[in-house]
Structure 1
Amino acid sequence: MSRKYILSIQGEGRGHMTQALSMYDMLVEAGHTVCAVILGSSGTRDVPRFFFDKIKCPIIQLQSPNFVCDKDNKSINITRSVTHNFKKIRTFRDSLKQIDFLMKEHQPDVVINFFDLLIGLYYRFYKPKAKLICVAHQYIYFHQDFEFPAGHWLDKAAIKFFTRLTSTGSSKNLGLSFYKIHTNNEEVVIVPPLLRKEIFELQTGKDDFYLIYLVNSGYFEEVLSWHKNNPEIVLHCFTDRPDKINSSYEFDKTKLFVHAINDTLFLEMMSKSKGLASSAGFESVCEAMYLGKPVMMVPIQGHYEQFCNSRDAYKAGAGIFSDSFDLSKLTNFSSTFDASNPWFKNWVANAKHRIYNEIISV
C-alpha cells in the first residue's frame, strides 16, 4: 500500500542529510510518495548543492535550534548557544506554524525525523495524527547496552534529554549503529547504517594521499601547521569555506588541496585515499569503515555526541581518536591497519531491507 511521507532533517549534520537521501530513494523506489522535506538549520552553514539536486520534491528550510561555535569556528560555546536560541524563540514558533501548514496541506501518513528538534516540539504542542518515526545514530542512547564513555554524567544526561525531545510522540525509534546490538526493549530498534547507494559502486584503491573532512573550518590551522612540518605528504581537505581558506592562507597548493563539499568527489577520493581524518561524524566514519579506510577522529570541542562517537567507533575498529589534527598519528596507524572488515559489510548489506521493513510496519 502506497503511503505519503514527509522527511524532517537536522540540517547542521551532513550525515543526517545523506541518510535522508537514502531514505528518500528507498521510499520512492518502493512506490511511496515523499510530499516534502523539512530542513531545519541555523542558517550559518551552507547546504550542499547535491542535496537540492537529488531531492525531487519541495524542500522547505526552517530556522531550528542549534549549537553556536566560538569566534574561531572550532569549539561549541554552550552559553552562546543557549542565549542565541532563547533570543530566537519567536522565530522557532513561526517555524512550527509553517510545519503545521505543511502537515495540513500534504496530510502525510508518516513523518520520518532525522534528529531535528522542531519536529519533536511540533508533536509535543500540536499532536498531529500522522505517525512519527525517528531515525539517527543518537537513538542508540536509549538502548540499555550502549556504553557511554566514563564520567561526563552531566553531558550524558543533557544529550539523552535532548534526544528524547526530538522523538516526542514517536511510534518507533531506529538507532543506527556501527555494530549489532540485540533489540531487547520497545524504545529503540538497533539497525545498520543507512549508507548512500553510491558507496556500493566504488572500487577501492590506495593512492598516495590522505583525506581530511573539516565540519568546522577553524581546525584548518592545525592541518596547515602539520602540513608545513610534513610538506612531502599530499593532503586533500574538504570544508564548507574553501574560498576563504585559499585566499587567507599561504601554503603549497600542489601538496595541500582545499575543496568545497562535494558528495561524489569526496566519496571517490575516500575510496582511493590512505586514510581519513575528520570530526567523529557517524556517517563519514561508517563510509570509511565500509571502504576499509583507517580513520582518525577529532571530535569538535564541546560536542559530546562526537566524543561518544569517537569512542564507540574506536571500539568497533574504525580507527583512533585524537584531540587535534596531528596527522602523524593517522599516518603511523594506517601503516598497520587491517582493512579487512567482512563483519561490517555483512552488517551493512541488509540495512535497506531491515530499515524498510521497520518503516512500513508502523
Structure 2
Amino acid sequence: MKILFLVQGEGRGHLTQAIALGQILRRADHEIVGAMTGKSAGRIIPSFFKEQIQAPVYEFDAPCIAYNAKGKGMNLGRTIGTLLLNAPKYLRAVQFINRIACKAKPDVIICFYETYGGIYNFLYGSKVPMICIAHQYLLLHPRFIFPENSRFSKSVINFNSRITSWLAAKRLALSFREMESRNDLKITVVPPLIREEVLDLKPTCGDFFLVYMTHHSMSQKIIDWHLSHPGVSLHCFWDNAEANEVFQFDETLTFHRINSEKYLNMLASCRALVTTAGFESVCEAIYLGKPVMMVPVPNHFEQECNALDGVISGAGVRCKTFDLSVMLEYLPKHQDQSEKFRNWYKSGASRFVQEIEMISGDFTPVNH
C-alpha cells in the first residue's frame, strides 16, 4: 500500500511516533509516500525527523500552543487568539494538504493528531480512508481515569480529539498498558510506538538526571533548583534556538540543543528522567527501565492526564514544578516496570500492520 502521513509538528512525540510506524510499515513492504508536517512560527521541524522518516517531507503552517513567560505554562487565551487571527493562513494550509494528497494518491492517510486531519476530511470529502493515531484518543475511552475536578477540561480535549479524527475510519489509541478496545466508539487500544533507535540501546545507570522540556522558558525553574542543589549533576535538553549547541551553565548543569542521538544515549545512561509529561518521552524511559518524574506544563490538561496515567502505570512520580527533590525522595521506592511494558510493546507491530491493512476504500467514517 501507498501510505501518506499527516503529523502534528508541535513537540517531538508525534514526530517520533511517525518514524516508528514508518519503520514497521516498511518492514511489511508498504511504502511511505510522504509526511505532511505542521510547523508554527518560530519553530523548526527537527532535523532528526527529516533524516529518519525516509520520505519526502511537506511543511505547512499550523497552530501551536502559546506559552507564558518565565515558565508559567500554557496561555490558553493567547493560543485561541492566535488561532483566530491566523485562520485564513490555516485554511490555505488545508488546501496545501489536499494538493499533496491528490499528487501522492495514497491508499491510506495516517494522521498523528494533526487538527487539520478532520477538517480536511470534512472540507474535501476525501475518498481515501484516514486512520488517526495518538495517546489522546485513549481519553475518549470510558475507563480512562482523569484528574479530579476536570470536567470542563475533559470536554475541551475530547472535543479536539474528535475534531482531529472527524470522518476518519478508526482511532488507534496508544496506551502505557493493556485496556480493552471499544469498537462501538471506533477506539482500538494499541501499544506505544517506539523508534528502533531506542530498542537497540543498552541501558546503564549513570550518576546524572536527564531533563527534557518542551519549551526553553521552563529552564529558569531548573536553574533555581540547581542553585540550591549544586551537587546533583543535570543534563537538560531544550529548544532554545538562540543558545549554542551546548551551554555549560556550570560544572554540574549543562543545557543541550535538542539532538535525537545525543538525547537517547543520555537517556540510556542516566539515573532518572525528569520531563514535561509527553507520552512518548515517558514510554521511552519505561522501556529502558528509567524512573520518571513527570512535570505537566502548567495549564496543559493533556499533560496532567499523561502524568496521572503514567503514575498509574508505574512509570514514576508526578510533580507540579521542577522540584527535583521529589525525584530524589521517590527513587528508593521505584519498582521497575520495563519487563511488563516491553511485553505489551512487543505485541504492537503486528497489530498496527493488521489494523492498517484492514482498511480499504469502503469504510465507515467516525462521525462523533
Structure 1, unaligned runs of 5 or more: none
Structure 2, unaligned runs of 5 or more: 360-368
> What is the RMSD of the two structures over their aligned residues, measured on CA atoms?
1.7
Contact 2:34 2:57 in 1 (8 A): yes
Contact 1:21 1:196 in 2 (8 A): yes
Identify which range, 71-80 or 272-281, moves more after superposition.
Answer: 71-80
Distance 2:92 2:208 in 1: 47
Aligned: 1:115 with 2:113:
yes
Aligned: 1:32 with 2:40:
no
Distance 2:355 2:119 in 1: 24
Show the 5 A alignment for 1:125-164: 125-164=123-162
Instruction: Please give the TM-score of this superposition, normalised by the length of structure 1.
Output: 0.95
| Structure 1 moving runs of 4+ over 6 Å | none
Distance 2:314 2:79 in 1: 33
- 1:263 Cα offset (Å): 1.3
- 1:72 Cα offset (Å): 3.4
Q: Deviations over 1:291-330 (max 9, x none)?
A: 1111111100111100000001011110111111111111
Q: Deviations over 1:177-227 (max 9, x none)?
A: 011001133320000001111111111111111100011111111111111
Instruction: Please give the TM-score of this superposition, normalised by the length of structure 2.
Output: 0.93
Partner of 1:270: 267
Distance 1:5 1:42 in 2: 24
- 1:228 Cα offset (Å): 1.1
Residue 196 of structure 1 aligns with an amino acid whose one-letter code is R
Aligned: 1:216 with 2:215:
yes
Contact 2:39 2:45 in 1 (8 A): no
Partner of 1:287: 284
Partner of 1:96: 94
From 324, 328, 331, the counterpart of 1:327: 324
- 1:164 Cα offset (Å): 0.2
Contact 2:38 2:61 in 1 (8 A): yes
Distance 2:100 2:231 in 1: 54
Distance 1:100 1:183 in 2: 31
Contact 2:71 2:219 in 1 (8 A): no
Q: Deviations over 1:247-279 (max 9, x none)?
A: 9x9831x21111111111111111111101010
Distance 1:242 1:259 in 2: 11
Partner of 2:365: none
- 1:153 Cα offset (Å): 1.0
Quickly say closer, same or farther: Cα 1:147–1:90, change in 2 above 3 A. same
Partner of 1:234: 233
1:244 match: secondary structure: coil
1:36 match: secondary structure: strand
Partner of 1:349: 346
Contact 1:22 1:195 in 2 (8 A): yes
Contact 2:70 2:220 in 1 (8 A): no
Distance 1:52 1:89 in 2: 27
% identical equivalent positions? 35
Q: Deviations over 1:72-123 (max 9, x none)?
A: 3541111111111101111011111111111211111100000001121100
Partner of 1:195: 194
Contact 1:74 1:216 in 2 (8 A): no
Partner of 1:75: 73
Contact 2:294 2:319 in 1 (8 A): yes
Contact 1:167 1:173 in 2 (8 A): yes
- 1:47 Cα offset (Å): 1.9
Contact 1:294 1:318 in 2 (8 A): yes
Distance 2:332 2:190 in 1: 32
Partner of 1:6: 4
Contact 2:277 2:294 in 1 (8 A): yes
